[in-house]
Structure 1
């Protein structure tokens, strides 16, 4: 099934909270944005937690790309990051889409890292980026 990246990022941007932190609903917001882009979850159930989105993205036609340094990588519109929990963090992890300027989940992130604990720890082995 095709995913319209423009519709995906447009929906994500319209729904996300600007100016602050998310509400722990990154998986829900990204799922709804993927659906707005044409993704169907008829044959499998979408994951609940952000950290579980890798296989779902692959089933939708995304593929994992190598990103050694997310602070200096040329991401493109429609890239999706999946992050495992940081040390001491909640079990849910994180998922967000890139609109060409911002990483967005249920909120607009200031950078790739979904908050100060991720930013301080920069868990390199704990994230993956997917491209359509």
Structure 2
């Protein structure tokens, strides 16, 4: 299936809420679908990495310039949401179920900076 990162990012931007509702995996699954990628059966954001790789995404090396359609999968941190987090870069900002101020979904992620990977499909 063809990947359209612009369509995925546009979908995410158009459907983003003003604040988190802990629905990042649902919203990203829908954005991926809008971009031509169907991933089903994954409940937790933290578990999306292998599924993205099966769809042709590769891990972006640290320090590379972000591109529209890049996906971050963030692992949980102690005391935070055990499902982890997932978001898409729209060319300007990170979007999950809401428009984030940075790659981190909130103050807990920002303070703890748990393990994470950025995925890209070429």
Classify the TM-score, shorter chain.
over 0.9
1:4 CA displacement = 0.8
Query: Hey, what's the Cα distance between the residues in 2 that align with 1:91 and 1:66?
Result: 25
How far apart, in 2, do the equivalents of 1:89 and 1:25 lie? 14
Separation in structure 1 between the aligned mates of residue 94 and residue 110 of structure 2, nearest angstrom: 14
Length, aligned pairs only: 121
TM-score, normalised to structure 2, is: 0.92
Q: Distance in 1 between matches of 2:46 and 2:71?
A: 12
Misfit runs of 4+, over 3 Å: none
Check if 1:131 corresponds to 2:120: yes
Q: What are the superposed Cα offsets for residues 72-100 of structure 1, whole Å, 9 maximum, x if unpaired?
A: x6211111000011221121100000001
1:50 and 1:128 mapped to 2: Cα distance?
A: 12
Contact 1:97 1:104 in 2 (8 A): yes
What are the equivalent positions in structure 2 for 1:5-84 lying under 5 Å apart? 5-18=5-18, 21-41=19-39, 45-67=40-62, 74-84=65-75
- The gaps in structure 1 that reach 5 residues or longer are none
**2:101 matched to which residue of 1?**
110
Q: Say if 1:46 and 1:56, in contact at 8 Å, map to a contact too.
A: no
For residues 23 and 66 of structure 2, the distance between their equivalents in structure 1, rounded to whole angstroms, comes to 23
Partners of 1:40 and 1:27 lie apart in 2 by 13
Which runs of no fewer than 5 residues in structure 2 stay unpaired? none
Residues 1:120 and 2:88 are matched in the alignment: no
